[in-house]
C-alpha cells in the first residue's frame, strides 16, 4: 500500500470533492455570515440598553423595550438561519460521503484479483465503512463550526478595532499564542490518529476472519488462543486511541487558558479606561467589549476541537484515497474483440506465470484443446491447477506466452465477453443474501420460471428447494444461511446449468456432495458437457476417468497427458496418484 502522510494532497482532494456543491457552499457561507452578523449585533444592543439605564434618573423604558424586542428578533432569526445552515451542511457532507462510498465500491470492481488476494477483506471493509464514517464525523463538525468560527473572529475583531483600538490591541497581541498551541498539538496528533485507523482496520480484519471461520476455531479448540490474540490487538487499539485522544484533548484546555488571558486583559484595560479622568468609555461599552472578547475567543476553542477531529478525518480520508489510488486492471483495448458464439478451441502457447517475481509457478506450458473436448487437470496441491483456471478466465494475465480462444489472444478480447463464454462451478460456493430464485438466476436474470426449474431439476436441487418454507421464494441468509454445503453446491451447479455457456470450468464441483448424489450429478454434467469445451479440476481421480484428455501437472508443468487408460499403462506419476487413493481401501486426496 502507498505510504499515508498528512500532506496538502489529502486536504486538497477533500476540497476538490466539494466542487459538486459550490452553490450549497455559497448559501451556507452567506447564512453563516448572517448568523454571525446577528449574533454580533446583539451585544451592541445590550450595551445601548445598559447605557440607557445606568446613570439615568428617568429611564426611557420605551427605548429599553424597543431594544429588547430587537434583541429577541435577532435571536429568532439567528436560530432560524443556523437551522437552515445545518440542513445544508448535512446535505453537503452526506452527499459527499455517498459519492465517496460509491467511488470506492466502483473502484473494487476495477481492481485486479491480486489486490484482494494480497489485502485482507477486513481491511478493505474497514476503509469503506469505518474510515468513511470517521471522515463524515470530522467533515460534519468542520462545516458546523469552522465557517461560523472564522467569520465570528473576523467580525468581532473589526468591531473592537472600530470601538476602541487600544483594547483590541490587547486581544491581537495575546491571540497568536492560542493559534500556536493549537497548531503545535494538531501536527502531532495526525500520526496518532493514523495509527489508530490502521489498528482498527487490523481488528476488523481479524473479527471478519474468525467470525467467518468460527467452526474451525472451535473444532481445533483454539478459542483461548484466538481470544488472547484478539485481546492483544484490542489492547493496542485501546492504547492508540487513548494516546490520540489524550494528546488531542490537550488542545481545548490549552486554548481555554489563553482565552481566559484575553478576557482578563480586556477587563483590566477596559476598567482602567473607565475610571480614567476624561475617559469616554462607558460601562455599556465595556460590557460590549467583554461580550465581544468572549465571542472572539470562543471560536478558537471550537476551531481547535474541529482541527483535532479533522486530524482523524484526514487520516481516515488518506486511507480511503489510498484505496482509490490503487492500480486498476488494464482496461480493454478500444479495438478489443468481442467473443461471440465461440467454438471452444483453446490454445496455451509457452505460458509462464508467477504470483511473485522471485518464485516461478507455471513455466513453458503449452496445450491444444479442441472444441468439445473434456480436459481433466490433476496433480498435487500447489502444482498450479487453480492458477491455470485463473489464467483461462483472465483473472490474471500471463507473464509470457499467450492463451488463445478460437485463435484470438485473450488479452485482445473484452474480459466480459471472455468470461461470459465460460460457466464456472468452484469448490468454494458463494450465494447472495437473496431468494433461491435470485441466486439461481444470477447469470440469467431474465430466465423464465420453467427454465429455472428445469435447471434446478437437472442439478438435482429441485426436491430440496420444494421442501424449503417458501420454495424458490425462500430468502437465504448470508452465503446460503442454514443450507448444507452440499445444498449450496447444488444451487451453484443449477446456476451454471441455467446459462449453459459454450465452455465450462468445474473446479472440484462435486467435492461437497455425497457419493450417491455425485453419481446423479455426474450424469447431469456429462449431458451438460456434451459438445462443450470443459476443464475439470479434480482430486478424486475416479470422477475424471471418462475425460478425453487428462493433464497431470507438477511444479507448474504438464508432466503427463493422455486418457485414463493410457496414463495407467505408462506406470508414471498418474498411475501412482490413482492407486494411492485406493491403497488399503482408503481414498485419500492426491
Q: Which residues contact 311 (CB under 8 A, 6 or more apart)?
A: 6, 186, 189, 190, 193, 248
* Full strand arrangement of the beta sheet holding 557-562: 422-425, 503-507, 533-537, 374-378, 549-554, 557-562
* pLDDT above 50 (res 4): no
* pLDDT above 60 (res 587): no
Beta strand 549-554 with 557-562: parallel, antiparallel or unpaired?
A: antiparallel
Residue intervals of the chain classified under CATH 1.20.1560.10 are 8-324
In this prediction, residues 106-128 reach a mean pLDDT of: 80
Q: How confident is the model at residue 10 (pLDDT cuts 50, 70, 90)?
A: confident
User: Per-residue pLDDT tens for 442-461?
Assistant: 888 888 989 999 988 888 88
Q: How confident is the model at residue 3 (pLDDT cuts 50, 70, 90)?
A: very low
Cell numbers standing for residue 70: 430587537
To the question of pTM greater than 0.85 for the whole model, the response is no
* pLDDT above 90 (res 80): yes
* pLDDT above 60 (res 7): no
In this prediction, residues 142-158 reach a mean pLDDT of: 77
User: Alpha helix locations (H) across 332-421?
Assistant: 385-392, 415-419
For 170, other C-beta atoms within 10 Å of its C-beta total 21
Above pLDDT 70, what percent of the chain?
A: 86
d(CA 106, CA 475): 26
Q: Please state which of the four CATH numbers 3.40.50.300, 3.40.190.10, 3.30.470.20, 3.30.70.120 is assigned to the domain occupying 346-585.
A: 3.40.50.300
Query: Which has more pLDDT, 173 or 188?
Result: 173
CA dihedral over 310, 316, 318, 320, signed as positive or negative: negative
d(CA 268, CA 254): 22
* pLDDT above 90 (res 76): yes
d(CA 339, CA 318): 40
Among residues 205, 204, 184, 203, the alpha carbon closest in space to that of 311 is found at 184
Q: Which of 36-45, 192-201, 214-223, 364-373 bottoms out in mean pLDDT, i.e. has the lowest?
A: 214-223
Q: How confident is the model at residue 420 (pLDDT cuts 50, 70, 90)?
A: confident
d(CA 429, CA 426): 6
Q: For 366-382, b where at least 16 C-beta lie within 10 A, e where not — what string?
A: ebebeebbbbbbbbeee
Q: How confident is the model at residue 584 (pLDDT cuts 50, 70, 90)?
A: very low
User: Per-residue pLDDT tens for 520-541?
Assistant: 677 777 777 888 888 888 777 7
Q: Which residues contact 569 (CB under 8 A, 6 or more apart)?
A: none
| Secondary structure of residue 245 in the 3-state scheme | helix
Cβ(323)–Cβ(131) under 8 Å?
no
Length of the chain: 590
Query: Which has more pLDDT, 58 or 234?
Result: 234
In this prediction, residues 462-475 reach a mean pLDDT of: 89
CA dihedral over 283, 287, 288, 289, signed as positive or negative: positive
Q: What is the mean pLDDT of the chain?
A: 79
Cβ(199)–Cβ(236) under 8 Å?
yes
pLDDT of res. 586:
43
CA angle 107, 111, 115 (to 5 degrees): 125
Query: Which has more pLDDT, 477 or 511?
Result: 477
User: Per-residue pLDDT tens for 207-253?
Assistant: 877 776 776 777 777 788 888 888 888 888 888 888 887 877 776 67
pLDDT of res. 589:
39
User: Per-residue pLDDT tens for 336-375?
Assistant: 888 888 888 899 898 888 887 777 778 888 888 888 888 8
User: Per-residue pLDDT tens for 240-276?
Assistant: 888 887 877 776 677 777 767 776 776 777 677 666 6
In this prediction, residues 141-167 reach a mean pLDDT of: 77
**For residue 244, how far is the Cα from the chain centroid?**
23
Q: How confident is the model at residue 84 (pLDDT cuts 50, 70, 90)?
A: very high
8-324 domain in CATH 1.20.1560.10?
A: yes
In this prediction, residues 509-519 reach a mean pLDDT of: 69
CA dihedral over 447, 448, 452, 455, signed as positive or negative: negative
Query: Which has more pLDDT, 583 or 32?
Result: 32
CA angle 158, 162, 164 (to 5 degrees): 115
Residue intervals of the chain classified under CATH 3.40.50.300 are 346-585
* pLDDT above 70 (res 582): no
User: Alpha helix locations (H) across 402-549?
Assistant: 415-419, 436-440, 449-458, 462-466, 485-499, 515-528
Element (H, E) at 376: strand 374-378
Beta strand 362-369 with 400-405: parallel, antiparallel or unpaired?
A: unpaired
In this prediction, residues 306-333 reach a mean pLDDT of: 80
Q: For 82-101, b where at least 16 C-beta lie within 10 A, e where not — what string?
A: beebeebbeebbeebbeebb
In this prediction, residues 155-178 reach a mean pLDDT of: 76
Beta bridge partners of 369: 346
Amino acid at each position: 500500500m502507498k505510504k499515508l502522510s498528512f500532506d496538502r494532497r489529502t486536504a486538497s482532494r477533500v476540497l476538490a470533492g466539494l466542487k459538486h456543491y459550490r452553490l450549497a457552499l455559497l448559501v451556507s457561507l452567506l447564512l453563516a455570515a448572517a448568523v454571525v452578523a446577528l449574533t454580533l449585533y446583539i451585544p451592541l444592543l445590550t450595551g445601548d440598553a445598559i447605557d440607557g439605564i445606568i446613570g439615568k434618573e428617568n429611564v426611557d423604558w420605551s427605548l429599553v423595550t424597543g431594544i429588547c424586542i430587537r434583541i429577541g428578533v435577532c435571536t429568532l432569526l439567528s436560530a432560524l438561519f443556523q437551522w437552515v445552515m445545518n440542513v445544508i451542511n448535512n446535505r453537503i457532507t452526506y452527499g459527499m460521503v455517498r459519492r465517496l462510498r460509491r467511488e470506492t465500491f466502483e473502484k473494487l470492481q476495477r481492481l485486479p484479483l491480486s489486490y484482494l488476494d494480497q489485502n485482507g477483506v477486513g481491511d478493505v471493509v474497514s476503509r469503506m465503512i469505518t474510515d468513511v464514517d470517521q471522515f463524515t464525523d470530522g467533515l460534519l463538525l468542520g462545516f458546523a463550526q469552522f465557517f461560523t468560527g472564522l467569520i465570528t473572529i473576523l467580525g468581532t475583531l473589526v468591531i473592537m478595532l472600530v470601538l476602541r483600538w487600544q483594547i483590541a490591541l490587547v486581544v491581537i497581541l495575546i491571540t497568536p499564542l492560542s493559534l500556536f498551541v493549537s497548531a503545535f498539538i494538531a501536527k502531532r496528533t495526525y500520526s496518532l490518529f493514523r495509527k489508530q485507523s490502521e489498528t482498527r482496520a487490523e481488528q476488523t480484519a481479524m473479527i471478519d476472519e474468525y467470525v467467518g471461520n468460527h467452526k474451525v476455531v472451535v473444532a481445533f479448540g483454539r478459542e483461548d488462543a484466538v481470544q488472547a490474540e484478539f485481546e492483544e490487538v484490542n489492547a493496542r487499539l485501546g492504547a492508540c486511541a487513548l494516546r490520540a485522544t489524550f494528546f488531542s484533548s490537550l488542545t481545548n484546555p490549552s486554548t481555554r487558558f489563553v482565552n481566559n488571558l484575553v478576557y482578563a486583559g480586556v477587563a483590566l484595560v477596559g476598567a482602567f479606561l473607565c475610571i480614567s479622568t476624561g475617559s469616554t468609555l462607558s460601562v455599556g461599552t465595556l460590557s460590549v467589549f467583554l461580550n465581544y472578547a468572549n465571542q472572539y475567543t470562543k471560536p478558537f476553542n471550537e476551531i481547535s476541537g474541529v482541527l483535532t477531529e479533522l486530524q482523524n478525518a484526514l487520516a481516515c480520508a488518506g486511507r480511503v484515497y489510498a484505496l482509490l489510488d490503487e492500480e486498476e486492471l488494464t482496461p480493454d483495448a478500444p479495438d478489443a474483440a468481442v467473443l461471440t458464439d465461440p467454438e471452444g478451441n483453446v490454445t496455451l502457447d509457452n505460458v509462464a506465470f508467477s504470483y511473485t517475481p522471485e518464485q516461478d509457478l507455471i513455466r513453458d506450458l503449452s496445450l491444444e484443446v479442441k472444441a468439445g473436448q473434456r480436459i481433466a487437470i490433476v496433480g498435487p496441491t500447489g502444482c498450479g491447477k487453480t492458477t491455470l483456471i485463473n489464467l483461462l478466465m483472465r483473472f490474471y494475465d500471463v507473464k509470457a506466452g499467450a492463451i488463445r480462444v478460437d485463435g484470438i489472444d485473450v488479452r485482445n478480447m473484452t474480459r466480459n465477453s471472455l468470461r461470459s463464454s465460460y460457466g464456472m462451478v468452484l469448490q468454494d460456493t458463494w450465494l447472495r443474501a437473496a431468494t433461491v430464485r435470485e441466486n439461481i438466476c444470477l447469470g440469467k436474470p431474465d430466465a423464465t420460471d420453467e427454465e429455472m426449474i428445469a435447471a434446478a431439476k437437472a442439478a438435482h436441487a429441485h426436491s430440496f428447494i420444494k421442501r424449503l418454507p417458501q420454495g424458490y421464494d425462500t430468502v437465504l441468509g448470508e452465503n446460503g444461511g442454514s443450507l448444507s454445503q452440499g445444498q449450496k453446491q447444488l444451487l451453484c451447479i443449477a446456476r451454471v446449468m441455467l446459462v449453459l455457456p459454450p465452455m465450462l470450468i468445474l473446479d472440484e464441483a462435486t467435492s461437497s456432495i455425497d457419493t450417491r448424489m455425485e453419481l446423479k450429478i455426474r450424469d447431469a454434467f456429462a449431458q451438460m458437457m456434451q459438445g462443450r469445451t470443459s476443464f475439470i479440476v479434480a482430486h478424486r481421480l475416479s470422477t475424471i476417468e471418462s475425460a478425453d484428455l487428462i493433464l497431470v501437472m507438477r511444479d507448474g508443468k504438464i508432466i503427463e497427458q493422455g486418457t485414463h487408460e493410457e496414463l495407467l499403462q505408462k506406470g508414471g506419476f498418474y498411475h501412482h496418484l490413482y492407486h494411492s487413493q485406493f491403497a488399503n481401501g482408503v481414498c485419500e486426496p492426491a
